[in-house]
Structure 1
């Protein structure tokens, strides 16, 4: 009898073990098959179904393992549904089960349900831990309720709960992401006064936040404080600071940081090199940018797509589209696959240099490579075609995107409005302008400026003034260009007094008067004086 019972338990254990073995074996295969789109969620659900029908039922630990795997695959609703089945079968959830549920509800944005499950944790007498509390705070942060997360933090700390660096990292990251770097700094100081000490990852979040807010000097001071506390900065610390100082053009500080990296034996990564290459390109130091790429190769860092796109963009910025194309043609041999932006950089460069046929050739190559052009591609080509006088071809492209391409934006419409006004097809431009409203787009100040200028050039001043009034009705603030167009049109139509009124509006708190305004009025008054 004893032997039979033991044998039964043994068979049961072996059957459970073999099921788990198959599952985790399949999971390993699934990792290898990710590229082919194989999804292990079906295996996980099948295993759960098998276990839930066993007699006796396996322990909650085994169900938690499956739920945990499903959550890692980000199938949160499935995990919630399966946990409900556990409840129906009388399986008592453990703190781990409930923590998994809280995590699911947080990721789905159902914070009310997450707090309900937290209530179940307390009702069942489970001891709350830092993981569960951090999950709630992270949920509040990712759902845009960072201040509530801070309030929750303060309440649990007041009740004597001990939190860890992951909790503080979650809160500090949440604050920095919404630009509340000062508050993140305050939380850092609170943390420094507790048992849990901030590590380099937490300091990096603040450094990154300060740099993104333009407070690079303060970020550098924090870096010095980190070093003074005996914490070693890592490549992320340096990369944030280098990015910040490159943006300010403070090369002396950049050089000092690079020297510090060498002294501390911190190697630059591909992101650091890309930042330096980008900064050099923007300063027109293309030779040094190219040398930097060669240096990163020597140091064992493989240039990536960003590196190549940055260099191409630099060449095109300074109208060296030939060098940009040479670099583009080396993509394949370097193992790099160009993306839409790679093509856009060259297309913009070609259009800027009035080499429209080469831009169109690249556009056709994109289609051949099954790489879908985006609205930047189309807008750049339409602009290039318009400026080269090929309006009919530009209109064909514009019509093509209306019939199934990427949705045209305000910039795309403005390009066509400008082209039509320049060939005095103002009425056609107005039709297109009205179409913007029908398509759910809101014309901007530039849209109105183009049409106002078009009307003025066609000596239709009253219609231009009507558009000027419409801008005010739509709460759009006219700029110096708007006023200059109207003042010029009024002067040329002999309505000098009205033009002078607009000039006074500019002078008395409107947009700034510029040299163009003065030249228009000077020219108008000179002509009057000449007539007199």
Structure 2
């Protein structure tokens, strides 16, 4: 059991220990207890009870009774710990035992788990004094111990504050600051503010450190304006705020997304003569990295010039910012710069860059960095492996995925929710839903509970296979398990119904979202709009778009493209043109996809001139034509029998660095055949095959039919027979 990975729950170990105890093999119970705890498996109250309930003789033989007392204290069973200790040592431990370090540590833990007026604490404190201490002495001693050694939980800290406030005279403000600081480190910032009010209402005056702790709490809770009000109080009381206080306020503004205001405050601070320290710079740089990466790098350079040496946190912030913006090459350069500055990147920095490389499909570089990291003795984490596994999944390299997973498990790195969800999602996207479900079973066996992300991926897998009944069943099962669907879950299911042309079911889910107060996002609306237009429900689509605008959900370029394409596909080209003009009149710059949709509509309606004019205007709008753009225009020209112009445009596309794809080749080959230029068509077919493309069904069928065309001249027939071999090879 101990060697299993992951090991069984402690409840199973308890069952084993209980059975051995019933067999009266007490020595084995003690031996196994040691092995279990040494393996990192934490005992619970039942484990400790099994040991305690053994005979007193066997319990005395345990070489570490202190471990049992420690365990009881940590799980809150203080009274049981005291009873056990006093029973073992007949009321008090002997002097030899009290002198050992383990005993002193245990005694401290036990004392700090009680209250100052607890009989055990009073006896222990009195035992350490030659005189007769008063209750006040005991309480002051208790406060000192608590502040020195910390708390197990927030309730203990709050109880201590009550004790301190009730003391007469109360402790010095320094001790209250220490208490507030400890609570702040526990991240209970609202409690810091509450206790500050209690302290000041009791007549205890704060100092600069108290107010600085208060500012930190307010900023962490998103109340930066209140933090600045406290800064005003600091100045009014004649205190002098330091750079730490300013750094706290800067961090608060950054947390609220007020990066511009934070940068302005930073500049004002410097102008007032305050010298930013490492924390100030790192805080400001981290804030700027959330969107203003160039300014972050500029501030980083300024920091170095001023002689403030950046640390790992500073570098990590910029590396993360560069990776978020997709500039992974600069991130790697900065990684190398860290080494030059004598700073060793940690696993977080390496994992960030590896993840970014995998997202860019630069898996070779990602594995090079992964190997470098291991050579330097930096152990990868589940995050590192998950990034590599995700990258391999996207490339469909399943053997490599299995190898990485096995390696991760072999290194005792336990897969988490994120790791499992990556596998589930990747398999579902490949249509391997059964395999994905097997992964979920493995996930459950390892103690991981499937979440919304897991179920959403499985539902998507069924939707992609058109298995809408299975998808709906899984959705209902998820809800029955107490897992609430999110907007993305609904969007996936709505998309599945739209693709299956079950628009009524899609709209039912849309209405259901409103009933449970889930607000559709732009993806949900875009999906429904596309489904309604595809079903020919133009009026309903327009009504939905009106609802979208009324809900405050701003349309994006996908929305615009969906509306334009939907109108054109339903024969409403004029409406689409009006909408396109309205977009431009309102200052919205349509994407190349929107232009492609309009040009395609114009070409199909026979309005080649308008399409050509729009195509020629793209360069002035700083829009770059894609292969799809060229294919639309080439097809439009061929339809109007402008073969030479179409061929010239095809070559122009190549000259601009936009390489033709298989679809584009097939369009122009068929156009050449339709326009009776058979030789040209066969030349282009050979060129396409040389580039690794092939004739599609329509093109191949057209070429085969030419064999029975007796009107062809000899040169054309020869070209067709020569090309026929290429078609047959495919």
TM bucket normalised to smaller: 0.7 to 0.9
Aligned-residue offset at 1:195: 6.3
In the alignment, which residue of structure 2 is the partner of 1:450?
597
1:242 pairs with one of 389, 392, 398: 389
Matched, 1:500 2:647: no
The C-alpha deviation readout for 1:388-442, integer Å capped at 9, x for no partner, is 2333333332344345563334433433433433443332332232232345433
RCO higher in 1 or 2 (8 Å CA, sep ≥ 6)? 1
Q: 1:451, CA displacement in angstroms?
A: 3.4
Given that 1:204 and 1:236 are in contact with CA atoms closer than 8 Å, whether structure 2 keeps it comes out as yes
Secondary structure at the aligned position of 2:676 is classed as: helix
Equivalence map 1:216-227=2 (5 Å): 216-227=363-374
In 2, distance between residues paired with 1:20 and 1:524? 88
1:64 counterpart = 2:64: no
CA distance 1:469–1:338, change in 2 (3 Å): same
Tell me if the contact between 2:351 and 2:384 (Cα under 8 Å) persists in the aligned partners.
yes
2:576 to 429, 447, 452: 429
C-alpha distance in structure 1 between counterparts of 2:408 and 2:268, whole Å? 49
* Match 2:524 to one of 368, 377, 393: 377
Counterparts of 1:377-526 in structure 2, within 5 Å, are: 377-404=524-551, 406-479=553-626, 481-482=628-629, 485-486=632-633, 488-489=635-636, 496=641, 498-509=642-653, 512=660, 513-525=664-676
Structure 1 residue 353: deviation in Å? 1.3
Distance 1:345 1:44 in 2: 47
Question: Could you tell me how far apart the structure 2 residues matched to 1:139 and 1:385 are?
Answer: 43
Contact 1:44-1:66 within 8 A present in 2 as well: no
Superposed CA deviations along residues 325-346 of structure 1, whole A, max 9, x for unmatched, are 2211111122211111111111
Indicate whether 1:73 and 2:225 are aligned. Answer: no
1:328 alignment partner, one of 475, 500, 517: 475
Deviation digits for residues 498-518 of structure 1 (CA, Å, limit 9, x no counterpart)? 442233122233663421222
Post-superposition CA distance 1:151-179 (Å, at most 9, x none)? 145335xx4x6664334433433443344
Change (3 A) 1:254 1:461: closer
CA contact (8 A) 1:95 1:121 kept: no
Name 2:265's counterpart in structure 1. 113
TM-aligned CA distance change 1:363 to 1:432, over 3 Å: same
TM-score (norm 2): 0.60
Q: In 1, Cα distance between the equivalents of 2:282 and 2:598? A: 55
Corresponding residue for residue 97 of structure 1: 245
Q: Where in structure 2 are there 5+ consecutive unaligned residues? A: 1-166, 679-709, 714-730
User: What is the alpha-carbon distance in structure 2 between the residues aligned to residue 292 and residue 164 of structure 1?
Assistant: 41
Q: Distance in 2 between matches of 1:402 and 1:220?
A: 46
Any idea what the Cα deviations from partners look like across 1:435-488, whole Å, max 9, x if unmatched? 323454333334334334434444444444444444455344455555555555
In structure 2, the CA distance between the partners of 1:288 and 1:502, relative to structure 1 (3 Å rule), is: same
Q: Does the CA contact (< 8 Å) of 1:385 and 1:393 recur in 2?
A: yes
Change in 2 beyond 3 A, CA 1:482/1:119: closer
Whose radius of gyration is greater, 1 or 2?
2
Give the whole-Å Cα distance in 2 for the aligned partners of 1:98 and 1:500: 70
Check the 8 A contact 2:557/2:591 in 1, yes or no.
yes
Pair 1:88-2:236 in alignment: yes
Q: How big is the alpha-carbon RMSD for the aligned residues of Structure 1 and Structure 2? A: 4.0
Q: In structure 1, what is the equivalent of residue 463 of structure 2?
A: 316
Matched, 1:155 2:155: no
User: Quick one: distance in 1 between partners of 2:389 and 2:333?
Assistant: 24
**Contact 2:358/2:388 (<8 A) preserved:** yes
Cα deviation for residue 314 of structure 1 reads: 1.9
Q: Whole-Å Cα distance in 2 between the matches of residues 24 and 153 of structure 1?
A: 29
The 1-side partners of 2:453 and 2:594 are apart by 33
Q: How does 1:335-354 map to 2 (within 5 A)?
A: 335-354=482-501
- TM-score, with length taken from structure 1: 0.80
CA distance in 1, matches of 2:319, 2:495: 40
Alpha carbons 2:635, 2:667 under 8 Å: kept = no
Displacement of 1:225: 2.9
List gaps (5 residues or longer) in structure 1.
1-9
Determine if the alignment matches structure 1 residue 358 to structure 2 residue 502.
no
Aligned-pair distance for 1:78? 2.9
CA contact (8 A) 2:429 2:461 kept: yes
What residue is the counterpart of 2:514 in the other structure? Answer: 367
SS in 2 for 1:150: helix
2:419 maps to 272
Give 3-state SS (helix, strand or coil) of 1:436's partner.
Answer: helix
Q: Distance between the aligned counterparts of 2:419 and 2:607, measured in 1?
A: 55
SS in 2 for 1:284: coil
Once residues 419 and 102 of structure 1 are traced to their aligned partners in structure 2, the CA distance between those partners, rounded to angstroms, is 48
Cα 1:254–1:422, aligned 2, differ >3 Å: closer, same or farther? Answer: closer
Asked whether the equivalents of residues 420 and 428 of structure 1 are also in contact (C-alpha less than 8 Å), the reply is: yes
Structure 1 residues 67-111: Cα deviation after superposition (integer angstroms, max 9, x where no partner): 221222233343233223312321133454354355456664333
In the alignment, the residues of structure 2 paired with residue 221 and residue 360 of structure 1 have an alpha-carbon distance, to the nearest angstrom, of 49
Asked if residue 206 in structure 1 is aligned to residue 346 in structure 2, the reply is no
Contact (CA 8 Å) 1:309, 1:341: kept in 2 or not? yes
The answer to whether the 8 Å contact 2:193/2:214 transfers is no
| Conserved? CA contact 2:354–2:388, under 8 Å | yes
- Other structure's SS at 1:443 match: coil
* Alpha-carbon separation, structure 1, partners of 2:342 and 2:621: 57
Deviating more after overlay: 477-486 vs 442-451: 477-486
SS of 1:214 mapped into structure 2:
coil
